[in-house]
Amino acid sequence: MGFAVGLVFLSFVLKGKKTSCNYGPNDRVISNISKKSWGSVGHTSSEFSSFDSIAFRSFLKMASVDFGKSDREKDSCKTYYLTGYWEDKNINVELENCDEMINIIQLSKNLSD
């Protein structure tokens, strides 16, 4: 009975707050990136000319981090490689995750398609 009362209490306390449960490393990185503003876009082809902040946010919802290619040991801006879909294309995004913003280094199509 006490457990049920506690759950009801928590639902009222947490209602309306932006809370999330990001337990996995992929979810934590994506959550951290999605909270920051993004700056310059580096090397891209013309097919990515419409890749803007809205497209980037939708890409992040289903993106996954390739930790094998990422450089998380840097002191300043860590480099991450993300894979996911945008406009029905499988794409790769290389970005720098700095303290206050992110910089997209490169956008490219995933060649394994």
State phi, psi for 76 to the nearest 5 degrees.
Answer: -90, -95
24-38, 42-56, 67-81, 96-110 — which is least confidently predicted?
42-56
State the amino acid at position 82 in one-letter form: L
Token digits for 59?
């890409």
pLDDT value at residue 18:
63
pLDDT value at residue 67:
92
Please return the burial class of 91, using the count of CB atoms within 10 Å of its CB with bins 0-12, 13-18 and 19+: buried
Token digits for 110?
């995933």
Average confidence (pLDDT) over 90-96: 90
End-to-end CA distance of the chain: 53
pLDDT value at residue 17:
62
Flag whether pLDDT at 106 surpasses 80: yes
- Mean pLDDT in the chain? 82
Please return the burial class of 77, using the count of CB atoms within 10 Å of its CB with bins 0-12, 13-18 and 19+: middle
